[in-house]
Amino acid sequence: MLDLYTRAAPISEVLGSSGKAVVVKGWIHRKRSSGGKLFAVVRDRTGLIQCVADKGKMDAQQWDALDKAYLESSIVLRGTARKDDRAPGGVEIDVSEALVVHSGEQFPITEYQSPEFLLDVRHLWLRSQRMIKAMQARSYVFRYARKFLDKNGFFEITAPLLTRAGGETGANLFEVDYFGQKAFLTESSQLYAEAMIYSLEKVYSFAPTFRAEKSRTTKHLIEFWMLEPEMAYFNNAQNMKFQEKFVSYIATSFAKEHEDLLGHFGVSKDSLLKIRPPFKRLSYEKAIDLLQQKGSGKKWGDDLGVEEERLLTEGEEKPIFVHSWPKEIKAFYMPVNPKDDRTVLCADMLAPNGHSEIVGGSERIWRLDELLARMKESGLNLDNYKWYIDLRRYGSVPHAGFGMGVERVVKWLLNLDHIRDAIPFPRLINRVEP
């Protein structure tokens, strides 16, 4: 007798077997019946398999329950795996026993739904093949990133998400009433990661990040996950070298181990195997020249947007670095470039095919007077940064680090047209539900 706890095999395994007795646990992905025969495509996290139930060969109650079950009802099926070239995975199950675990209600998602509706029912749409694959890919990106940092001797640290010290944009902070005091949701763990290099030397934080950005683009999330390594005794050139190795490791490991998954999104393994160091390095100044040659109206001092990022990476197979940006458009903690005092020692990594900035990094000012001058120049309230300034008073050392937006990386690797599908529950300018 089947029960809820009967051991089942993953569908991917069943697809490779024939003539064997099998049990699968899953959800009804598609279903149709005709003349006492019922065809159900069952889904689990490893794949889909067609199951054929014959009314004459089954317990009548079990058949009835299966017949009445909805799409997405949860079920346990026992049967025999049979090779069938016409079946989607090459193998079908002839069902002998069926247990409908929860028939539930009619599933609200049918074919051809608007993107807005699918976002409204995101908690259910996560069961779609597209979202299953995307969420698996996201998890693999997490895994490879951590593995690389682990192999390179980093300690994973955590930083507070509630803070008074904004790191990046200032204007885009979410304000929180902290028992009558003003606090913010963090927009980067960097400043805290910097505090920890004095004890752990090579650290990274991997955490949610909040930006009250009023941009409605295909690459902006209000809440996203950022991976932020920070290294003592690192300069900008070393920082870039490390970043290209890091990104290459993620892309090529993914390509080698998950070709099928990439295929689901129309991405070839070969395109990602090419992501190997070195990546092209372009100064901001040269980037502006190039943009002007391509007909852009951007001039020195302007920030670059989605369109410029697309123009700069047009035809590129690998990400590129744009380094040495004007100090006015970069954060206060970046040191001035000794070779050109209009610019700072930083670099952004842009992904190919217009997938935009995936990494932002820089050296950090490590001398007290220089930091104070830049902070005042940037109009920051020094009271909120007392502890950060303190770090430059006791055994300060040169250091550098970067932040990688993991949803941006997933979007690029899977060639998604919108970043919202790189995170399970996207927070967008007009959406904080579900």
Q: Can you give the binding site for ligand 4AD, defined by CB under 6 A?
A: 167-168, 188, 190, 211, 213, 220-221, 224, 226, 228, 357-361, 401-405, 407-408
98 binds, among ligand 4AD, Mg ion, none (CB under 5 to 8 A by kind): none
Provide the CA 332 distance to its chain's centre, in angstroms: 27
163 binds, among Mg ion, ligand 4AD, none (CB under 5 to 8 A by kind): none
Nearer to ligand 4AD, 27 or 332 (CB): 332
Q: Give the Cα separation of 175 and 162 in Å (integer).
A: 10
SS3 387: helix
- In the chain, the amino acid numbered 300 is W
Nearer to ligand 4AD, 122 or 211 (CB): 211
Tell me how far, at minimum, the Cβ of 291 lies from ligand 4AD, in Å.
19
Residue 305: CB partners within 8 Å, gap ≥ 6? none
Residues numbered 72 to 111 that lie near Mg ion (CB under 5 A) are none
43 binds, among ligand 4AD, Mg ion, none (CB under 5 to 8 A by kind): none
Nearer to ligand 4AD, 25 or 420 (CB): 420
Q: Give the Cα separation of 403 and 190 in Å (integer).
A: 8
Nearer to ligand 4AD, 228 or 421 (CB): 228
Size of the site for Mg ion (CB under 5 A): 1
Nearer to ligand 4AD, 18 or 235 (CB): 235
- 72 contacts 105 by C-beta, under 8 angstroms: no
Q: Give the Cα separation of 86 and 84 in Å (integer).
A: 5
227 binds, among ligand 4AD, Mg ion, none (CB under 5 to 8 A by kind): none
Nearer to ligand 4AD, 119 or 121 (CB): 119
- In the chain, the amino acid numbered 333 is Y
- Tell me: does residue 26 bind Mg ion (CB under 5 A): no
361 binds, among ligand 4AD, Mg ion, none (CB under 5 to 8 A by kind): ligand 4AD
Q: Give the Cα separation of 190 and 404 in Å (integer).
A: 11
The two tokens of residue 284 are 């901001």
220 binds, among Mg ion, ligand 4AD, none (CB under 5 to 8 A by kind): ligand 4AD
SS3 298: coil
Name beta bridge partners: 362.
Answer: 346, 401
Residues numbered 345 to 384 that lie near Mg ion (CB under 5 A) are 360
Tell me how far, at minimum, the Cβ of 359 lies from Mg ion, in Å.
8
48 binds, among Mg ion, ligand 4AD, none (CB under 5 to 8 A by kind): none
Nearer to Mg ion, 250 or 358 (CB): 358
Tell me how far, at minimum, the Cβ of 8 lies from ligand 4AD, in Å.
38
194 binds, among ligand 4AD, Mg ion, none (CB under 5 to 8 A by kind): none
Provide the CA 187 distance to its chain's centre, in angstroms: 17
Tell me how far, at minimum, the Cβ of 348 lies from Mg ion, in Å.
6
Q: Give the Cα separation of 239 and 400 in Å (integer).
A: 7
Tell me how far, at minimum, the Cβ of 356 lies from ligand 4AD, in Å.
8
Nearer to ligand 4AD, 89 or 170 (CB): 170
Tell me how far, at minimum, the Cβ of 141 lies from ligand 4AD, in Å.
12
Nearer to Mg ion, 44 or 348 (CB): 348
Tell me how far, at minimum, the Cβ of 2 lies from ligand 4AD, in Å.
45
The two tokens of residue 24 are 């699968």
Residue 432: CB partners within 8 Å, gap ≥ 6? 222
For the chain, what is the total number of helices (H) and then of strands (E)? 14, 18
Tell me how far, at minimum, the Cβ of 56 lies from ligand 4AD, in Å.
56
**Nearest alpha-carbon partner for 65 in 37, 27, 103, 112:** 103
Tell me how far, at minimum, the Cβ of 229 lies from Mg ion, in Å.
15
Sign of CA dihedral 412, 416, 422, 428: positive
What angle (nearest 5°) sits at the alpha carbon of residue 203, between those of residues 198 and 207?
125
Tell me how far, at minimum, the Cβ of 174 lies from ligand 4AD, in Å.
12
Percent helix, percent strand, percent coil in the chain, to nearest 5 = 35, 30, 40
The two tokens of residue 53 are 């139930």
The two tokens of residue 196 are 């920890």
Nearer to ligand 4AD, 28 or 358 (CB): 358
Residues in contact with Mg ion by the rule CB under 5 A:
360
